[in-house]
Amino acid sequence: MSQCPYNPAREGAQMSFQDRMSYVDYLQLDTILSAQTPLSDSHDEMLFIIQHQTSELWMRLALHEMEACRQALSQDRLRPAFKMLSRIARIFEQLNSAWDVLRTMTPSDYQSFRPSLGQSSGFQSAQYRLIEYAVGNRNLAMLGPHAHRPDLMAALEAELAKPSLYDEALRALARMGLPVPQDILTRDLRSPWVEDPRIEAVWCEVYRNPDRWWEAYELAEKLVDFEDYFRRWRFNHVTTVERVIGFRRGTGGTEGVSYLRRMLEVELFPELWRMRSTL
Ligand code: HEM
Ligand SMILES: N[C@@H](CC(=O)c1ccccc1NC=O)C(=O)O
């Protein structure tokens, strides 16, 4: 005899959503789940689309956290800032794990729909560029692909007008009493960070006397942790790209792998890495 399936309504599960907000309403799933429109008949294009859409959603959260983190730093609320930095690092860990799914796509799978991508490329991801700008990698040449979208351009320009995460960190160090030079605190925010031995000396002081500068020390390690995860993301990307398209030119027009390898050399917080040799 088959048993009667258990009905959760018996313990009070709500079963009628005629006039109530339900899961699908709250999460706007109709919008999200109707946004996957493959342009080819290739089976793997769905994977490719969802991989990118989920990445963009995680980046959306990373930006949200980054914004609040910088605000907390500017108000000397270090503990909440640390919590948000830890979350951002975890988001990148999530993005790093996601490559394992995409790696199941072989070069032949990818070539079956690559022509449908036209000249679109991750190079044109405004949220990725916002993250790079927010953490301090402010290369203005990267604004180009967004010129046709005034709304995205405005968001990127607004970001460039704000102190980066590193700028906020150095301002917080100065308020703690560490000797951050004045010209660093008033630098042109739009320009890329230029490595500075005086900042390396400040971090050395922090790491030589962690008990005295504990909050600065913790901040430094959170920043290094974040950059560590970010570097892994770049590395996973370039490795996946080589695995899938070899040394072909990118749809975005760059040389592909060699461009991405060059990006591996970008250092967000150079003094924090350099001081490890001189400490
Ligand atoms: C098979 C998978 C992928 C391939 C073959 C690929 C290929 C490439 C290539 C060749 C570039 C250089 C720009 C160009 O000329 O197109 C690039 C840039 C980029 N891709 Fe991908 N990509 C893949 C997956 C992803 C995924 C899953 C993401 C996640 C959002 C992503 C995000 C980016 C970003 C943000 C850039 C710009 C990087 C920078 O400027 O530093 N890509 N990709
Ligand atoms: N640049 C890639 C295309 C690509 O990966 C892509 C295309 C459209 C939307 C997102 C993409 N992902 C990352 O660059 C290629 O050259 O095959």
Any domain includes 24: no
> What's the full length of the chain, in residues?
279
- Domain range for 96 is 40-163+184-244+261-278
Any domain includes 195: yes
Number of domains making up the chain: 1
Say how many Å lie between the first and final Cα of the chain, rounded: 75
> Which listed ligand is nearest to 114 at the C-alpha?
2
Residue 48 marked in a binding site: yes
Any domain includes 202: yes
pLDDT reported for residue 1 = 53
CB 256 less than 6 A from any atom of ligand 1? yes
- Residue range 140-190, pLDDT digits in tens: 999 999 999 999 999 999 999 999 999 999 999 999 999 999 999 999 999
pLDDT reported for residue 213 = 98
DSSP symbols for 222-235: HHHHHHHHHHHHHH
Token digits of residue 139: 């290369």
For ligand 1, atom 41, name the residue with the nearest CA. Answer: 263
- Residue range 180-233, pLDDT digits in tens: 999 999 999 999 999 999 999 999 999 999 999 999 999 999 999 999 999 999
Any domain includes 48: yes
- Residue range 85-121, pLDDT digits in tens: 999 999 999 999 999 999 999 999 999 999 999 999 9
> What's the one-letter identity of residue 234?
R
Judge whether residue 2 has pLDDT over 70.
no
The ligand 1 atom nearest the CA atom of 255: 15
Q: What is the mean pLDDT of the chain?
A: 97
Positive or negative: CA dihedral 191, 193, 199, 203: positive
Q: How far is the CA of 30 from the centre of ligand 1 (A)?
A: 28
Q: How far is the CA of 134 from the centre of ligand 2 (A)?
A: 23
Any domain includes 232: yes
CB 180 less than 6 A from any atom of ligand 1? no
Q: What is the CATH number of the domain that holds 53?
A: 1.20.58.480
Any domain includes 144: yes
